[in-house]
Amino acid sequence: MEEDFYASIKLKTGEEIFALVSADFETDNMFLVINNPITICPHKNRSGDSGYKVEPWLKTTTEDTFIIGIEDILTIVETKDSEIIEIHNNFVRSISHLKNNRPSLSRKMGYISSVSEAKKLLERIYKNY
């Protein structure tokens, strides 16, 4: 494996991701191992302040390491931009903090009432209104 580096990756699908990358050569195939890939989009709020919107690349998984074949990559550019690297590192820290502080799930979580109890309550509110 080569030394890790931060890079912006443009996939053939059109997606742009930013991640900590290491290249790996296995026989004739080359692939990239990407850690904590994110998407970064410029964002301006209603008051005119600008910043970045940062999201995980894949939103339906909690995994943080992925393998991409070199044939799926359009281009890759190593970056030394300290601002973007710091944004990435802050995101990684916040995600790891969330993973470590998750409460254990139970069947009672989010339970407010049964359908029949909610129906009775809503009917009472409607009649009194």
Q: Of 82, 78, 6, nearest to 37 (Cα)?
A: 6
> Are β-strands 5-11 and 73-78 bridged in parallel, bridged antiparallel, or unpaired?
antiparallel
Helices H, strands E: what count in the chain? 2, 6
Q: What is the pLDDT of residue 126?
A: 87
Secondary structure class of 24 (helix, strand, coil): strand
Helix (H, G, I), strand (E, B) or coil at 94: helix
CATH fold of 5-128: SH3 type barrels. (2.30.30)
Q: Of residues 2 and 75, which shows the higher confidence score?
A: 75
What pLDDT sits at residue 16?
Answer: 94
Q: Is the confidence at residue 74, as pLDDT, over 60?
A: yes
Burial of residue 18 (CB within 10 Å: 0-12, 13-18, 19+) is buried
pTM above threshold 0.75: no
Binned at pLDDT 50, 70 and 90, residue 36 comes out as: very high
* Tokens 């930013």 belong to residue: 18
Q: Which of these, 87, 83, 66, 51, lies nearest to 15 by C-alpha position? A: 66
